[in-house]
Chains A and B, each alone.
Chain A
Amino acid sequence: MLYIPGNNPAMLQHGGIYGADSLLLDLEDAVALNQKDAARILVRNMLQTIDFYNSEVCVRINHLDTPFGREDLEEIVPLQPDAIRYPKTESVEDLKKLLAIIEDIENKHNLPHDKMTIHAMIETAMGVQNVFDIASFSNRVDALTIGGQDLMADMNIKNTKEGTGIDLARKMIVMAAKANGIDAIDTVFVDVNDEEGLKKETEYAKNIGFSGKAVINPRQIDIIHEVFTPTNEEVRKAYRIVKEFKRNKEAGIGVFAIEGKMIDAPVVARAEYVLELAGIDYKNI
Chain B
Amino acid sequence: MKNVIGRNIPEYINGIGKVEPFLGAWEKLKKGWMDEITVPPPNKAKLPHQCKSCMDLRMAIEKTNPHDGMTVSFHHHLRSGDNILVMTIDILAQMGIKNITLASSSLNNSHDSILKYLKDGTITKIWTSGLRGELGKAVSEGVLDVPVTIHSHGGRVRAIHTGKIQIDLAVIAASAADEEGNATGAHGKSAFGSMGYARIDSRYAKQVIIVTDNMVEYPCTPTSIQQHYVDYVVKVDSIGDASKIASGTTRITKSPMDLRIAKLAADVIENSGMFTEGFSFQVGAGGASLAVAKFIREKMKKNGVKGSFLLGGVTSYGVDMLNEGLFRAIFDVQSFDAAVSSSILKNRNNIEISSGYYANPYNCGCMTNKLDIVVLGALEIDIDFNVNVITGADGIIRGASGGHSDTASGANLTVVVCPSFRGRIPIIKKRVHTIVTPGETVDVLVTERGICVNPKKPELEESLIKAGLKIKKIEDLQKEVEGITGVEKPIEFTDKIVGIVEYRDGTIIDVIKQVKNAN
Direct contact of A and B (CB under 8 A): yes
Q: Are A14 and B448 in contact (CB under 8 A)?
A: yes
User: Could you tell me the distance between the alpha carbons of A192 and B484 in the complex, rounded to whole angstroms?
Assistant: 30
List 10 tightest A-B contacts by C-beta distance, closest first: A218-B256, A17-B448, A18-B260, A219-B256, A17-B260, A17-B449, A219-B259, A14-B257, A218-B260, A217-B256
Assess whether B263 is interfacial by the CB under 8 Å rule.
yes
Chain A positions within 8 Å of B, measured between CB atoms, are 13-14, 17-19, 50-51, 217-219, 222
- Cβ contact within 8 Å between B263 and A17: no
Interface pair A50/B260, CB less than 8 Å apart: no
User: What CA separation (Å) do A14 and B260 show in the bound complex?
Assistant: 11
Contacts of B254 in A (CB 8 A): 219
Residues of A contacting B448 in the complex (Cβ-Cβ under 8 angstroms): 14, 17
Docked Cα-Cα span, A51 to B257, in Å, equals 16
| Contacting residues of chain B (241-267) with chain A, CB-CB under 8 angstroms | 254, 256-257, 259-260, 263
Residue of B nearest to A18 (CB): B260
Q: Which A residue sits closest to B448, measured CB to CB?
A: A17
Q: List 20 A-B contacts (CB under 8 A).
A: A13-B484, A14-B257, A14-B448, A17-B257, A17-B260, A17-B448, A17-B449, A18-B256, A18-B260, A19-B260, A50-B484, A51-B480, A217-B256, A218-B256, A218-B259, A218-B260, A219-B254, A219-B256, A219-B259, A222-B263
Known A-B contacts: A14-B448, A51-B480, A218-B256. Give 8 more (CB < 8 A): A18-B256, A18-B260, A19-B260, A50-B484, A218-B259, A218-B260, A219-B259, A222-B263
- For B483, the closest partner residue in chain A by CB is A51
Binding site for A on B (CB under 8 A): 254, 256-257, 259-260, 263, 448-449, 480, 484
For the complex, give the distance between the alpha carbons of A219 and B260 in Å: 8
Q: How far is the CA of A19 from the CA of B263 in the complex (A)?
A: 11
State the CA gap A219–B295 with chains docked (Å).
13
Return A6 CB to nearest CB of chain B, in Å.
17
* B contact residues around A218 at 8 Å (CB): 256, 259-260
Give complex CA distance A56, B448 in Å.
Answer: 18
Min Cβ gap B452→A in Å is: 15
CB distance from B428 to the nearest CB of A (A): 14
Complex Cα spacing A141 to B263, Å = 35
Cα distance A50–B256 in the bound complex, in angstroms: 19
Measured in the bound complex, the distance between the Cα atoms of B259 and A217 in whole Å is 12
Q: Which residues does chain B contribute within 8 Å of A17, judged by CB atoms?
A: 257, 260, 448-449
Name the residue among B254, B256, B257, B259 with the largest chain A CB count within 10 angstroms.
B256
- Kindly provide the distance from the CB of B14 to the nearest chain A CB, expressed in whole angstroms: 46
Contacts of A222 on B, CB cut-off 8 Å?
A: 263
A54 — nearest CB in chain B belongs to which residue?
A: B470
For B257, the chain A residues whose CB sits under 8 A away are 14, 17
Measured between beta carbons, the chain A residues less than 8 angstroms from B263 are 222
B413 to chain A, nearest CB (A): 23
**Docked complex Cα distance between A51 and B450 (Å):** 13
Distance in Å: Cβ of B289 to nearest Cβ of chain A: 18
| A11: nearest chain-B partner, CB-CB | B256
In angstroms, Cα B480 to Cα A51, docked, is 10
Report the separation of the CA atoms of residues A98 and B256 in the bound assembly, to the nearest whole angstrom.
35
Residues of B within 8 Å of A14, CB to CB, are 257, 448
B487: shortest Cβ distance to chain A, in Å? 16
A219 to B261, CA, bound (A): 12
A217 contacts which chain B residues (CB < 8 A)? 256
Closest to A279 in B: B468
CA distance A109 to B449 in the complex (A): 33
A42 to chain B, nearest CB (A): 15
Contacts of A51 in B (CB 8 A): 480
Cα of A14 to Cα of B421 in the assembled complex, Å? 11
Interface centre among B259, B260, B449, B484 (most CB of A within 10 A): B260
For the complex formed, measure the closest distance between the CB of B307 and the CB atoms of chain A, giving whole angstroms.
23
**Complex Cα gap A222–B291 (Å):** 15
In the assembly, what is the distance between CA of A14 and CA of B449, in Å?
9
A16's nearest neighbour on chain B, judged by CB, is: B449
Q: How far, in angstroms, from A7 to B259 measured CA to CA in the complex?
A: 23
B270 smallest CB distance to A (angstroms): 14
How many whole Å from B477's CB to the nearest CB in chain A?
12
Least Cβ distance of A59 to chain B in Å? 20
- A218 and B449 CA atoms in complex are apart in Å by 15
> Considering only CB atoms, which chain A residue lies closest to B420 in the complex?
A17
Please measure, in the bound complex, the distance between the C-alpha atom of A146 and the C-alpha atom of B259, giving whole angstroms.
28
Q: Chain B's nearest CB lies how many Å from the CB of A51?
A: 8
- Cα distance A50–B449 when bound, in Å? 12
Q: Which residue of B lies closest to A49 (CB)?
A: B484
Smallest beta-carbon distance A212→chain B, Å: 19
By beta carbon, the residue of chain B nearest A17 is B448
Bound-state Cα–Cα, A19 to B259, Å: 12
Return A27 CB to nearest CB of chain B, in Å.
21
Q: Would you give the shortest CB distance from A150 to chain B, in whole angstroms?
A: 25
- C-alpha spacing A51/B484, complex, angstroms: 9
Contacts of A219 in B (CB 8 A): 254, 256, 259
Cα distance A51–B472 in the bound complex, in angstroms: 15
Q: How far is the CB of B482 from chain A (nearest CB, A)?
A: 13
The complex places the Cα of A258 from the Cα of B485 at a distance, in Å, of 57
CB closest residue in chain A, given B254: A219
Nearest neighbor of B480 in chain A, beta-carbon distance: A51
In the complex, A222 Cα to B267 Cα: how many Å? 13
**Within the assembled complex, what's the spacing in Å between the Cα atoms of A19 and B260?**
9
User: Cα distance A219–B259 when bound, in Å?
Assistant: 8
Residue numbers in A under 8 Å from B256 (CB-CB): 18, 217-219
A19 vs B264: C-alpha distance in the bound complex, in angstroms? 11
The chain B residue with its CB closest to the CB of A217 is B256
Closest B residue by C-beta to A220: B256
- Within the assembled complex, what's the spacing in Å between the Cα atoms of A18 and B254? 14
Give chain B nearest CB distance to A54 CB in angstroms. 9
Which residue in chain A gives the minimum CB-CB distance to B259? Answer: A219
Q: Report the bound CA distance from A218 to B259 in whole Å.
A: 9
Quote the shortest CB–CB distance from A45 to chain B (angstroms).
13
The distance in angstroms between the C-alpha atoms of A222 and B260, with both chains bound, is 10
The complex places the Cα of A21 from the Cα of B114 at a distance, in Å, of 54
Separation of A222 and B254 alpha carbons in the complex (Å) = 14
